[in-house]
Structure formats: C-alpha cells, structure tokens
Amino acid sequence: MRRKESSARDPIRQPKVLHPLENENLRLLILENISQEAVRAFESQGFQVDHHTRSFSEKELIEKIGSYHAIGIRSKTKITQRVLSAASKLLVIGCFCIGTNQVDLDAAAEAGIPVFNSPFSNSRSVAELVMSELVALSRQYFERSWEMRNGRWNKQSKNCYELRGKTLGIIGYGHIGSQLSVLAEAFGMRVLFHDVMNIMPLGSARQVEHLAALLSQSDFVTLHVPEIPETTNMISTRELRQMKKGAYLINNARGRVVDIPALIQAVESKHLAGAAMDVFPYEPAANGDPFDDQLNSWATKLCSLPNVILTPHIGGSTEEAQRMIGEEVSQALSRFLNYGSTISAVNFPEVDLRAITAEQGNYIRLCYVHKNKPGVLRQLNDALAPYNVEKQYSDSKGDIAYVMADIADVSPSDFSKLRDRISNTEASILTRFLA
Ligand SMILES: NC(=O)c1ccc[n+]([C@@H]2O[C@H](COP(=O)([O-])OP(=O)(O)OC[C@H]3O[C@@H](n4cnc5c(N)ncnc54)[C@H](O)[C@@H]3O)[C@@H](O)[C@H]2O)c1
C-alpha cells in the first residue's frame, strides 16, 4: 500500500485578499498624528488615507465624516452620537490608544460599527518603569540627585539596599503584574502575588490568598489592578499598617486604588520608607497645567515628602508602546475591512472565520450585523438556503448580533438578489459582502 504524499510538501495555502463587492474605494480618516507606519500600511493595501496631526472638533467631524469608511483617532477626538449620525458610510473606528471613553460605544454598536483599541501594548513599558522605581527607592537616588543639584554632596549607604533577596508583592497578576514578576526574579527578588483569580505563577513566584499576608511579607508592594469599586482605596490606613516597617509602596495602576492622605501619613510617620506614584485621582488635562492643591487637596504635602517619586502618568509612554499600538490597531482595522473579523472589538460580538484560500476563487463572504432578535437567523438561512454555505459563525453582545458566512458559487445576478434580500431583512443594521 502506498500512502498519499504528505500534504506537508504542498505549497502553503495563501489566504485570498478580499475586497468589498460594491463599496467604492475605501477611504480612511486618520487624526492626531498616528504613526506613519500605520498610515503606510493602510496605503499599501490600496486604502485612500487622509491624515492629519491634530484632532477634529465635533463640528468638523460632522462636516467631513460622511465620506469616510474608517476613522483612526487617539484620545482627544470625541466620536459622539451626533458624529455617528452623520457617519453614513462609516464601518469601523480605531482608537490608537489604551482607552475608548472618547467614543460613544453603545451608539457605535447600534450603528453596526465595531471599535478597536490596544489595551495591553504598553504592559512591558509599565513593568520596566516599576523595575526602575524599585532600584531608585531602595538606593534613594532621587534624594541624592536632588541634593547634588542643590550643591550638596551626601554619599551614604545607610538604609540603601540591593534588590537581590528582597520580596516584591504584586497586587494584580495580569498583563503588567506577570511581566514584572519575570523581570523582578531576574534581579534575584522573591515574588509573591495576590489576585482575585487563581493564576498559574510564572517562574518561582507564589500566589498568596490573602492581601494581608502579601502586605506583611513584602519589602516592596506594587499595584497592578483595574480601577473598579472593589479596588477603590484598597490600600488605606489598615493595609498600610499591615505593611512591613521600612517597606515601599508603588502605584502605577490607577489614582484611586491608594488612599493618598493615608499614604502621606504612613511616610511622614516613617512607617514606610518611601513610595512611587505615577497616577492620581485627578490628573491635569494637559502638559504645563498645574499639579496643585486645587486639583488634589493633598498635592503640596505629597510633593514635600522625602523619597517619594512622582511621575506624570508616564508608565505606558514609550516609543515602543506607541509603535505597538499603531501596529495592533491598524491590523485590527485592516482585518475588519478586508475580512470582516471583529476579534478584540470592545463594543461588538467577536466573530471570525477561517480564511478563504486563493484556490477557492468564487466564494463570497457575508458580514451581516443585525439586531439581536428571535427569528433573524431563520430569515437569513432561508435566504441562503439555495447556496452551499461553506462556513458560518454568529455571536451576539447585548442588542447587537453579527453573522459571518462564506458562500460558494454565487453568480453576479444571484448576488444582487441575495444582497437585497438580506439587507432588507427587518433586523438588518449593516450588510457587507467581500470577495
Ligand atoms: N501608569 C500607566 O501609564 C498605565 C499603563 C497601562 C496600564 N495601567 C493600569 O495598570 C493596571 C493593570 O493593567 P493590566 O494591563 O495589567 O491589567 P489586567 O487586566 O491585565 O490585570 C489586572 C489584574 O488585576 C486583577 N484584579 C482585579 N481586581 C482585583 C482585586 N480586587 N484584587 C486583586 N487583584 C485584582 C485581575 O484579576 C487581573 O489579573 C490597570 O489599572 C491599568 O489601567 C497604567
């Protein structure tokens, strides 16, 4: 008996690049100085790109958005309900940043528009900042540097320590906390972590069930949790007392997870040897704006404490993080425009299909966004019944549902009938065909 030759020798099957069947050339509006690499990547795919370094006001957006199929923004451009009402052709929104508060996510979903962002591309940058803060705090070099700038030589080793052999307590072992764990072990630290989830530790790190146990054993405690009601002021007077005398607290997570007046008290009383803070309950809106008692009533006191490092929310601000944000969001936009995939959208059901290969020449891909109501799939499947549906996947999120289906051998005249039938279903929000 002879086996069929291994398919491993077949050339790799290339996914076919799909194009909209009926839309005119896709136009992208890119604002707020998004990376040139991202702009070039869009242009190389044949998209027509208009890019600007500034953000647009609501009025400007309302005037212009009607001719664009996609928009890329950072945090200053607000995509409101009014903007979305004027966005008759808009298919997708890319937030080239971490947050998506600047977009009315529900209104976008109701209009059939997925929103993509890049929530974790700066994890490494934050983890590295924490490593630098651990060294800076335990060697007190912020103080020494400040003294030298004031003309004072003050060489000392008292209360200055190596990190090797010390214990780092990480609260929140997600994207940042877990990366930090690996870096800290490379410095010879012992790592404990506390998380509400049971998480497989990396390296020799150890999960501790109770926060108090982590606090009482750690030389450094660092926070990497989201800001949610359960984490608001999760480090306050009681928790600070549970920390070792002479320990340090680091917060690069969100401003409200630490009770700052309680922290000031703990440093003033010398229970803590120092702290590093990158985030604050109220942060100035723009560079150059004051960080003072009008913004946060305790600001002057905090700024006067020795061995307390204060930074203006720079944890994720590196060139590398910006580049990764550019790559991640531009790829998500292209995947959606070219293939219909909504994987990682923040406001939308996440749906994807295996690629159509170059050999499967006459397939068309249906991307059908509809209201999440009973009976819609029956209507859709009735319309598709005469054809061979090669693959189909659907999911819903709240009131919105999304179906992707690859259909074989649809002739051009059948295509226009199918398009009219599906896009005229009562629940249809947006129907697209790619081929
Ligand atoms: N300073 C900056 O510039 C900067 C940059 C990026 C992220 N951040 C902030 O850092 C924080 C962590 O980010 P991430 O990407 O690692 O998030 P993540 O979602 O990957 O991880 C958060 C972890 O916290 C855990 N958690 C939630 N509630 C908890 C609780 N009550 N007790 C213990 N653990 C809890 C979660 O289970 C999760 O494992 C977020 O607040 C984020 O906004 C700050």
Look at residue 198 in the predicted model and tell me its pLDDT: 96
How many A from CA of 224 to the centre of ligand 1? 4
6-120+321-434 — its CATH code? Answer: 3.40.50.720
Q: How far apart are CA 238 and CA 228, in angstroms?
A: 20
Atom number of ligand 1 nearest to Cα 129: 1
pLDDT at residue 8 above 70? no
pLDDT at residue 91 above 80? yes
Catalytic entry in 69, 124, 194, 254: 254
How many A from CA of 203 to the centre of ligand 1? 20
**Is the CATH number of domain 123-310 1.20.1250.20?**
no
Give the residue whose CA is nearest to atom 10 of ligand 1: 253
Q: How far apart are CA 362 and CA 35, in angstroms?
A: 36
Give the residue whose CA is nearest to atom 5 of ligand 1: 316
Give the phi and the psi of residue 317 in degrees, each rounded to 5: -95, 85
187-239 per-position pLDDT tens digit = 999 999 999 999 999 999 999 999 999 999 999 999 999 999 999 999 999 99
Which regions of the chain carry the CATH code 3.40.50.720?
6-120+321-434, 123-310
How many A from CA of 243 to the centre of ligand 1? 21
336-373 per-position pLDDT tens digit = 999 999 999 999 999 999 988 877 767 899 999 999 99
Catalytic entry in 63, 209, 230, 283: 283
pLDDT at residue 9 above 70? no
pLDDT at residue 7 above 50? no
How many A from CA of 125 to the centre of ligand 1? 14
Average pLDDT over the chain, rounded to whole?
Answer: 92
Q: How far apart are CA 431 and CA 408, in angstroms?
A: 18
Secondary structure, 3-state, 295-317: CCCCHHHHHCCCCEEECCCCCCC
How many A from CA of 225 to the centre of ligand 1? 3
State the Cα torsion 222-180-37-76 to the nearest 10°: -10
- Range 26-49 average pLDDT: 90
Q: Say whether pTM exceeds 0.95.
A: no
- Pocket lined around ligand 1, Cβ cut-off 6 Å: 120, 122-123, 126, 171-177, 194-197, 224-227, 230-231, 252-254, 278-279, 313, 315-316
Q: Which of 40-44, 85-89, 131-135, 359-363 has the lowest mean pLDDT?
A: 359-363
CB 70 within 8 A of CB 28: yes
Catalytic entry in 313, 323, 335, 421: 313
pLDDT at residue 98 above 90? no
The reply to whether 313 belongs to the active site is yes
The reply to whether 60 belongs to the active site is no
380-427 per-position pLDDT tens digit = 999 999 999 999 999 999 999 999 999 998 888 888 889 899 999 999
pLDDT at residue 179 above 70? yes
Q: How far apart are CA 76 and CA 54, in angstroms?
A: 9
Give the residue whose CA is nearest to atom 6 of ligand 1: 316
Edge-to-edge strand order for the sheet containing 190-194? 206-207, 190-194, 167-171, 220-223, 247-251, 272-277, 308-310
